[in-house]
Structure 1
Amino acid sequence: MNSIVSLPIVAAVPTAAPAMLASAPVTDRRALEAYASWLFYERRLLCGELWPDWENAERFVGSNSGAHWHFRGDGDWRDLPQPSTRAATVLSLVGVDWKDDRESNHEETGNPPRRPPGWPKIDAELIDLGREFEPLLKQYFDERMRWALLAVSARAEVYAKFGSDYSSDTWTKPTFAASPAQALLTKVLRRLGATASQRKMSALWKKMEPLADRITEATAESLQGLRAKVLVSLWEALPALAGGENLSIGDGDRSAESLLRATADVTGLRPMMDAMETRLAALRAGPTAVA
């Protein structure tokens, strides 16, 4: 769509006849319905050219500049010019005489087809939940990395004195909770700041859990709605242990991992996912690499 709207329109405006480029009001349903039909068949025919041997090729949606154009910038996609604002212009450029359309009844019948929840702002509530959840996820992940680094350092200090055999007397006598090794670990965790970091994680978790529950229970009918669900999946995939070096996706189920990566791709969250995995893997190399 970017190539259709931006480049050809700019190139065609100087030479095209004024009447050809005149845009109708966005409320003219003839233009909007004709545009929707044109896009449907244009996509179907183009996909047939791209993948002639693939049945139902139009079901494939690539993650590329054309897809990302609709969600460009740092703001809300709903604040960008909507398709209705360019429908008449695009139709005129390709020679569709939508003003002479007499085949469809463009009046409301009183019995409209089913529309997605929140129409015309599809997934509005789910998208708002995702917008609230995302900065919390970033804060949580940063704090989790800080906690993990401090916890690993604390354990290394305790292991140097008592060893890492949790079945030994220094870890189990008189009880595990009251053992000398555990008592020292508690003190070191507090001294290094890991205990305070864990409290911050808990506070963030209490804010995130109810949002995550609502996002999980909601039905997504748009890419931005799906994006909110991917954010929750990334949060749930974070390893529970301080030394965890990988996202835990579907208990090692390769199909679940493939699905999450694919949805992260189409929703624009793959860079975040890759950054998480890179930082988690750096735990293996120690404090310098993580920092």
Structure 2
Amino acid sequence: MVIHTQKETLVQTLSSVSKNDKIGFVPTMGALHEGHISLVERALSENTVVVVSIFVNPTQFNNTVDLEKYPRTPEEDISLLNKLKGEVIVYLPEVSDLYDGTVAAKKYNFGNLENEMEGKHRKGHFDGVGTIVSKLLKIVKPDTAYFGEKDFQQLQIVKKLVALEKLPVEIVGCPILREANGLAMSSRNKRLNAKQFEEASTIYKTLKEVREKFSSTSLVGLNALVTERFLQNPNLKLEYFEIANEKTLKTAIRKNKDSKYRAFIAAFAGDVRLIDNMPLN
């Protein structure tokens, strides 16, 4: 496994890859877990060479405390990746290597995808995501890039970004991996204490109940159900619950049999913000 801290040496290494070989890419913010590893394994199964970036991107955080507390475990991350079979290249840059001079996000118009759910609660977040993903894709120039469906809104926005910038890369969404109690695997889970970790399973259980009752219960009824489930667990604070159209991410007003819907939840366990989602039909 080769580790690069500078884009120039990474580009030089990748330039030696044969044109007949495929390059896969898994961008991460580190604090790797089994969910990330499943993305890398998928990439390794479909490509000759896989680049994994580890970079905590400052421009996608609208909360400086969250940025400061975001877990950083580069040695553990490299150890995990080193156990994988296949050619993995790690890109572990400093901020200065990706942002020349001013550390700022580019403004994007993602066709209103950026203004739903996460966009309402994290102003400028998706400008930061778009900025860093664009930079990374232009450096790595992969054939395929892999993103987890836990951040489903981000996945849709990355697909839109690729279309807007006409980047020659296929974006692949991969299923959510879950802990034994159903909690979606996330780097932020490392900040939960044992009690919070167990209580956070309410998020998955609630989404599962919404899916089970989706066909038989009104949208108003489902919203009331979710509110009630979180009231029953005062140690979890619901930030939002949305049932949205998978394609547009617009909040559903009524059910349309020709549309696909997904339920989204953001909630706090203490000061740790957790998100999850689940397809409904």
TM-score range, shorter chain: under 0.3
More helix by share: 1
More strand by share: 2
Structure ID, larger Rg: 1
TM-score w.r.t. the length of structure 2 is 0.20
TM-score w.r.t. the length of structure 1 is 0.19
